[in-house]
A = this chain, B = another copy of it.
Amino acid sequence: MDPLEHGDLTVVDGLQINNWDRKVLEELKAGGVTGVNATCAVWEGPQETLRAVADWYELARDNADLVVLAENADDIRQAKRDGRLAVLLGFQNTSPFGDDYRMVEVFHRLGVRIAQLTYNIQNLVGGACYDEHDSGLTAYGRFIISEMNRVGMLVDLSHVGNRTSRDAIDASAGPVAITHANPLSFADSPRNKPDDVIDALAARGGVLGCCLYPNVIGGEKTTRRQFCEMVAALVERIGPDHVALGSDCTRNWSQDYVAWLRNGRWRPASAVPVEPQWPVWPNWFGGPADFPVLTEGLLEVGLDETVVAQVLGGNWLRLFDTVFPGAGQ
């Protein structure tokens, strides 16, 4: 058998939050990425999010040679055959649902397939990773999860508080995801996850996307080998079915977008002592074009080819197959 090549894999990235344009789409193509969860809301409410979704319809139509909007795993598999990128629309917050659980179905019909419950701070649904006191999953949050289960939308626990994450794993009828975070034991960040959350996620069939964002890998100095050894250790501990990647790439944004991510409209910029800056990425992974080095790195640390294929995309596809067909249309 020929050795595994990156180009043979159906590479699926658990999350990217780029400022999407044709050049960025080409970066993903250069990196051999076939599927991606593309963030189209962070702090936005229902109406603003409609515009973001409409932006995607337009971008996809204008670049149909490169990209297709996917609604399930088969759309991603088809994109692989067509040599295109399949984009799953995703939210990093439940703000697009406002206070109306029925907006889950509305956005599902518009093509949204993944929603993170909270983004950094407490919201109507639950507590977030930077909250001092995590409310746990709220009464409204339970209806949101039940509705996401019904229509077939994947619950994402990245940026979510640990208590709310445990509650959500228990509340969800099906497996859930942490699309972009690492074990807390690898790098000490509120964004990373303690073992009890990761274990509960895996026990229910969920998937964790190991994340390349500098702040959650211990900074730019972390080596490719260290990152890949963390992935391999996680595969060893929770099993090969539950580990994937979620790069958290942030391509093509200007500096002020960091301030939007951090402050939204919930606090004045003046409340933050130091103006937020984009972190420096490690020299071995600067963006979606660098995905091939991950395949290489995972093989180097001794993961077998089957497991590498699972981590690079197979596990996301299986999870999508499980969650998305619930579509209640």
Docked complex: A139-162 residues within 8 A CB-CB of B:
none
Residues 217-244 of chain A: 1 if any B CB is under 8 Å from the residue's CB, otherwise 0? 0000000000000000000000000000
A100 proximity list for chain B (CB < 8 A): 50-51, 54
A13 contacts B by Cβ under 8 Å: no
Say yes or no: B110 contacts A106, CB within 8 Å. yes
A45 proximity list for chain B (CB < 8 A): 47
A328 proximity list for chain B (CB < 8 A): 61
A314 contacts B by Cβ under 8 Å: no
Q: Please, which residue of chain B has its CB at the minimum distance from the CB of A102? A: B54
Docked complex: A42-78 residues within 8 A CB-CB of B:
45-47, 50-51, 53-55, 57-58, 61
Say yes or no: A54 contacts B110, CB within 8 Å. no
Q: Please, which residue of chain B has its CB at the minimum distance from the CB of A45? A: B47
Q: Please, which residue of chain B has its CB at the minimum distance from the CB of A54? A: B102
**Least Cβ–Cβ distance between A175 and chain B, in angstroms:** 25
A105 contacts B by Cβ under 8 Å: yes
Say yes or no: B58 contacts A102, CB within 8 Å. yes
Q: Choose from B54, B57, B109 the contact partner of A111 (Cβ within 8 Å).
A: B109
A301 contacts B by Cβ under 8 Å: no
Docked complex: A25-56 residues within 8 A CB-CB of B:
45-47, 50-51, 53-55
Stoichiometry, copies per complex = 2
CA distance A55 to B102 in the complex (A): 8
Q: By the criterion of a CB under 8 Å from any partner CB, how many residues of chain A are at the interface? A: 21
CA distance A193 to B90 in the complex (A): 47
Say yes or no: B50 contacts A105, CB within 8 Å. no
CA distance A87 to B124 in the complex (A): 33
A103 contacts B by Cβ under 8 Å: yes
Say yes or no: B57 contacts A105, CB within 8 Å. yes
Residues 115-147 of chain A: 1 if any B CB is under 8 Å from the residue's CB, otherwise 0? 000000000000000000000000000000000
CA distance A46 to B53 in the complex (A): 14
A103 proximity list for chain B (CB < 8 A): 50, 54
CA distance A57 to B108 in the complex (A): 12
CA distance A51 to B47 in the complex (A): 11
CA distance A103 to B52 in the complex (A): 11
Q: Choose from B51, B54, B106 the contact partner of A50 (Cβ within 8 Å).
A: B106
CA distance A90 to B32 in the complex (A): 43
Say yes or no: B110 contacts A57, CB within 8 Å. no
A102 proximity list for chain B (CB < 8 A): 51, 54-55, 57-58
Q: Please, which residue of chain B has its CB at the minimum distance from the CB of A328? A: B61
Other A-B pairs beyond A46-B47, A47-B98, A106-B110, 17, CB < 8 Å: A45-B47, A46-B46, A47-B47, A50-B50, A50-B106, A51-B102, A53-B106, A54-B102, A54-B105, A54-B106, A55-B102, A57-B102, A57-B106, A58-B102, A61-B328, A109-B110, A109-B111
Question: Can you pick out 14 interface pairs between chain A and chain B where the beta carbons lie within 8 Å of each other?
Answer: A45-B47, A46-B46, A46-B50, A50-B103, A50-B106, A51-B100, A51-B102, A53-B106, A54-B100, A54-B103, A57-B102, A57-B106, A106-B110, A110-B110
